[in-house]
Amino acid sequence: MASKVEPLSIESLLQKQKAEKDAAAKPKFLSKEERAKLAIEKRAQEIQDQRAKEEESRRDREALEREAERVGQNDRAGGYRYASGARSQ
């Protein structure tokens, strides 16, 4: 016969949560090597994020430049979009 599974009691859940909270509240002391390793990992992540941001900016700038070139070609070809000044009257 299969054993009957009983639900967890509220008291045991509260006790477990309190123990986890207490463990998280205690400061964790790191060795010099661990601190250096964490600092290197953090810096590597910052560099990766910066490169991704620069790449996105570059792509946006290139798209804007292509659009400006396309609009400039239309204007030079006589395809003015808007009438302006004395010409529109």
* pLDDT mean by block of 10 residues, the chain; 89 residues: 67 90 83 95 98 97 93 73 55
* Per-residue tokens: 47: 């560099």
Q: Residue 82: its pLDDT value, please? A: 58
Alpha-carbon gap, residue 63 to 60, rounded angstroms? 5
Alpha-carbon gap, residue 53 to 58, rounded angstroms? 9
Tell the residue number behind the tokens 């290197």, with chain if given. Answer: 40
On whether the pTM is more than 0.85, the answer is no
Tell the residue number behind the tokens 């792509």, with chain if given. Answer: 59
Q: Residue 66: its pLDDT value, please? A: 93
The three-state secondary structure class of 47 is helix
**Count: domains in the chain:** 1
Domain span holding position 63: 30-74
Kindly state whether residue 63 falls inside one of the protein's structural domains. Answer: yes
Kindly state whether residue 9 falls inside one of the protein's structural domains. Answer: no
